[in-house]
Chain A
Amino acid sequence: MTATTQTSGNGAPWKRVLTFGGLGLILVYCLAPFYWMAVSAFRRPSDQFELTVLPAPFSLDNLTAVFAPGVGFGRSLLNSLVVAGVTTILTLVIGVSAAYALARLHFRFKNAVAALIIATSMFPGISLLVPLLALFTDIGWINTYQSMIVPSLSFALPLAVWNLTAFFRQMPEELEQAAMIDGCTRGQAFRKVILPLAAPGIFTTAIITFIAAWNEFIIALSMVNDSTMQTATVAISRFTGAYGFDQPFGTQMAAGVIVTVPLVVVVLLFQRRIIAGLTAGGVK
């Protein structure tokens, strides 16, 4: 691991063995627990505690139990989709102009402004939640979508601004200059030249923001006590399940698979872009 520091990687055979061994370890490390969730999801509830590597016999009972009428998991998925989706759209609409200003304009206090925006993303969620919970209780927002969406902006907006700024900075400044020489104003240059070209960056930011909002837990847990309004992450943690176990692990694993697999598919499809976004933003 520390033995090789060159990037060529085709050195001595033992180095290659070491690298491949390391890669294998990383794969097992990252995927084994996830695999175990999937395997457990497809076991029969009666042999939930089996330890075989493959579910035998294969069964969809847990998956059907997740969507049993009394559980209301479909509604929770819809709630998550609404909260994460609206949060993402709002964040992009509000954040894109700020990101453009930070990336392109030269003005006083620019570093201070950038530092302030990124600092807000580091504030502990609970510090913001306690007063918001009191406020929302007063104005009757408890058990509403907006009570989850508005606090979600506190972490999603800095994240999006930060990512978008990085993407805008990567675009050559000559693009707008050319557009402005051709008679566009800065606003037109931004709308007609920059925005279409920045579409991949905006798309990536949307994915990262959506995942962050989809995975959010403490806000949804605090703001909602009506089970028809809770998001999927909260619903899973509160499953009592259709079967009589004290904790319905099979159903929970199946629900976990349902909540996670779409994210994993998106992440795998766009992994190159997402990694570029994550490392540029440097935030979770």
Chain B
Amino acid sequence: MTAVAHRARGRAGSATSGAGRLAAALLSPTFVVLGLVVGYPLVAALRESVFRDGTDLDESGFVVEGSRFVGVDNYTAIFVGESAARFWNAFGNTTVFTVITVTLEVLIGVGMALVMHHAIRWRGIVRASILVPWAVPTAVSALLWRWIFQADGVANAMIGQQILWTTEGWQAKFAVILADVWKTAPFVGLLVLAGLQIIPNDVYEAARVDGASPWRQFWQITLPLVKPALLVAVLFRVLDALRMFDLPFVLIGSRKESVETLSMVAFDEAASLRFGPAAAYATILFVYVAVTALVFVRLLGADVIGAAREKARK
């Protein structure tokens, strides 16, 4: 800090010419740290994914120790080899969870935002309560839902059925989706509410004067104007859902076919000290997330920086 301030002192006069160097000085601590904790691991993961670690048996049955270069073997094993079934199952689960949870969260979140936007009284209490699911740690919420979905738990008592929610099958998927939607839909609601609040009231006045029905106002004014905020919320939620781990891991358990996500497979491999395959899974997940983010920004025009700046300017 003092070094930065020192350097800044010398350039206070020349505002723009020194700005670049000052900015570099101010940004460098952040970039050094991010380079170490994000940049290095990404490169290392790529490197590690072409090695196979630990004790292994080679083709002739000899014990091989240490890491061996195996080229794209880890990847071919994942896509077409012995772990292909597990990978495609995890890939499918990850994708299904992402699509379904984000869709539900957007629908519920927009509904919540609209209700809160129209409320005058009680708004503070509701806005505060909406933060509760967000503040509960995911691992704790997973345990909470595990308790609710217990065989003789409150969920079964309410619907009068005896469903073993946390065992393999569609019910486990359902439990994970419900728990995830509970925790994150309110968060989407908050972001959308912030988007709603910057729509000027006179737009609606004009629409009313022109005789537009509330339904039409929603589709032709509210939705288009809230779209930038909504797209950013959806982008964040999609990327977050793609790396889902805590919830299925604690709610259902590891190595459960019906809820295993890509993060869980990578974790399981790493926990068994098979760092090579784990790194390959992790790299594939990273590429999946990066491609999804790119598609969002390019095709749907999610303006992450612009939308955030717009809100900040308010």
Contacts and interface: CB of A to CB of B under 8 A. Distances in A.
Interface of A: 1-7, 9-10, 15, 19-20, 22-23, 25-27, 29-31, 33-34, 36-37, 40, 49, 51, 93-95, 97-98, 100-102, 105-108, 110-111, 113-115, 117-120, 122-135, 150-151, 153-154, 157-158, 161-162, 165-166, 169-170, 180, 185-188, 190-191, 211, 214-215, 217-218, 221-222, 233-234, 236-237, 247, 249, 252-253, 256, 259-260, 263-264, 267-268, 271, 274-275, 278-284
Interface in B47-95: 48, 53
B304 A4 contact: no
A23 B308 contact: no
Interface stretch (B96-104, B129-137, B167-175): B129-137
B159 interface: no
Contacts of B263: 124-126, 218
B44 A131 contact: yes
Contacts of B233: 282
Contacts, number: 354
Interface in B118-146: 118-120, 122, 124-146
A98 B45 CA distance: 27
Contacts of B37: 128, 132, 150-151, 153-154, 157
The 4 closest A-B pairs by CB, nearest first: A187-B5, A22-B115, A131-B44, A124-B243
A222 B8 contact: no
B5 A185 contact: yes
Contact of B138 (A27, A97, A217): A217
Name the residue in A111, A170, A256 with the highest tally of chain B Cβ atoms < 10 Å from its Cβ: A256
A124 B42 contact: no
Chain A contact residues, majority secondary structure: helix
Given A51-B157, A118-B305, A127 B194 contact: no
A234 B139 contact: yes
Given A124-B263, A185-B9, A267 B204 contact: no
Given A22-B114, A98-B30, A190-B8, 15 more contacts: A3-B214, A9-B120, A19-B119, A26-B189, A37-B140, A95-B30, A98-B26, A110-B23, A124-B285, A127-B42, A151-B37, A211-B135, A252-B143, A256-B143, A259-B137
B201 interface: yes
Contact of A282 (B48, B218, B232): B232
B239 interface: yes
Nearest to A103: B312
B12 A186 contact: yes
A23 B148 contact: no
B48 A126 contact: no
A187 B6 contact: yes
Dominant secondary structure of chain B at its interface with chain A: helix
B308 A280 contact: yes
B238 to A, nearest CB: 10
A119 to B, nearest CB: 7
Contacts of A165: 312
B187 interface: yes
B271 interface: yes
Interface residues of B, number: 122
A120 B308 contact: no
A65 to B, nearest CB: 15
Given A133-B275, A217-B137, A249-B147, A186 B204 contact: no
B163 interface: no
A5 B191 contact: no
B164 interface: no
Contact of A122 (B42, B246, B267, B289): B289
21 contacts: A5-B214, A5-B218, A26-B130, A33-B144, A34-B144, A36-B154, A110-B23, A120-B34, A126-B243, A130-B275, A131-B45, A134-B48, A135-B44, A154-B34, A190-B8, A249-B146, A260-B136, A267-B132, A279-B194, A282-B311, A284-B236
Contacts of A49: 150, 152-153
B125 A282 contact: no
Contacts of A278: 134, 187, 190-191
A120 B208 CA distance: 44
Contacts of A134: 44, 48, 53, 275
Contact of A115 (B157, B194, B304): B304
A76 B119 CA distance: 42
A34 B132 contact: yes
Contact of A123 (B22, B215, B286): B286
A7 B187 contact: no
B240 interface: yes
A211 B135 CA distance: 7
Contact of B45 (A127, A154, A187, A282): A127
Given A101-B23, A130-B275, A5 B204 contact: yes
A130 B187 CA distance: 29
A253 to B, nearest CB: 6
